[in-house]
Amino acid sequence: MDLGLRDKVCVVTGSTAGIGRAVVQQLREEGAVVVSTGRRGNGPGDLHVAADLSLPGEPGRVVAEAEARFGRIDCLVNNVGGTNIRRFEELTDKDWQASFELNLMSAVRTTRAVLPGMRERRSGSIVNVSSSAGKRPSLGMPDYSVMKAGMLSFSRLVADLYGGDGIRCNAVCPGTVSSPSLEERITALGRELGGYDKAHDMFIARQPMMRFGTPEEVASLCVYLASDESSFVTGQLLAIDGGITI
């Protein structure tokens, strides 16, 4: 199926590994021109802009470099984010602020930067990668959960405000996806339960499909939402979580 992405210019944040990298690879397979971002100095895009998007000026710089090189931005995938496993009572004000900047304000600022061009062209698709933890908080990731819940509201806000300008905005809520950070979570729980295998089995037992998702599966949904095939889809929260109950 031709998704209508050939020669579209797409920016994917947090795209040097995991879901973001898989999104870049699939977009390029569809013929899109992709700008990747991350703290690392190189990445998988046609253009890679090294940036720390938790810093206020960096999202605008990434967008400016992309527009200077390619003239426009048709699609934005806000994927950057992350956290550590911590209990609520361990979190300081500084921890909460850092999570706010990385997991929510990075998306707000990058979206704000692409909107003028998209509004001028009366076309654009924005995909925000939230989390199943945004629907029901993870007790081991309280700050991350709250910020991802905020991203869901932000996605609906953008869809409502700019739908008349031809701009679509949707949120994707992955469940448990195989990644180095998942391994860290399982390992941390294993220390409490007395073994990695016991913790792994506990995670799997919560999955109706009895397996974890893959970055490629989440990327496929992101690419669909970025494409012309989803031209009448906006303001939606799409779960890709293997049916996990929340």
Q: For 194-227, how does the pLDDT look when each residue is reduced to its tens digit (9 = 90+)?
A: 889 888 888 888 888 989 999 999 999 999 999 9
pLDDT, residue 188, reads 81
Name 50's Cβ contacts closer than 8 Å, sequence gap at least 6.
37, 38, 39, 40, 41, 42, 43
Active site residues: 144
**Alpha carbon distance 124, 163 (integer Å):** 10
Q: Domain map of the chain by residue range?
A: 9-176+214-240, 178-212
Place of tokens 């929340």: 246
**Alpha carbon distance 81, 63 (integer Å):** 18
Q: State whether the Cα torsion 119-24-217-203 is positive or negative.
A: negative
User: DSSP string of 30-55?
Assistant: TT-EEEEEESSS--SSSEEEE--TTS
Instruction: Name the token pair of 118.
Output: 């998209």
Q: Which option is the CATH number for 9-176+214-240: 3.40.50.300, 3.40.50.720, 1.10.10.60, 3.40.50.10190?
A: 3.40.50.720
- pLDDT confidence bin for 246, thresholds 50/70/90: low
Instruction: Name the token pair of 236.
Output: 């939606």
Q: What is the pLDDT of residues 58-106, one digit of tens each?
A: 999 999 999 999 999 999 999 999 988 889 999 999 999 999 999 999 9
Cβ(26)–Cβ(1) under 8 Å? no
Q: What is the dihedral of CA 231, 16, 212, 150, to 10 degrees?
A: -60
Q: What is the pLDDT of residues 6-32, one digit of tens each?
A: 999 999 999 999 999 999 999 999 999
Q: What is the mean pLDDT of the chain?
A: 94
**Alpha carbon distance 77, 62 (integer Å):** 13
Place of tokens 């998007």: 53
pLDDT, residue 245, reads 64
pLDDT, residue 198, reads 86
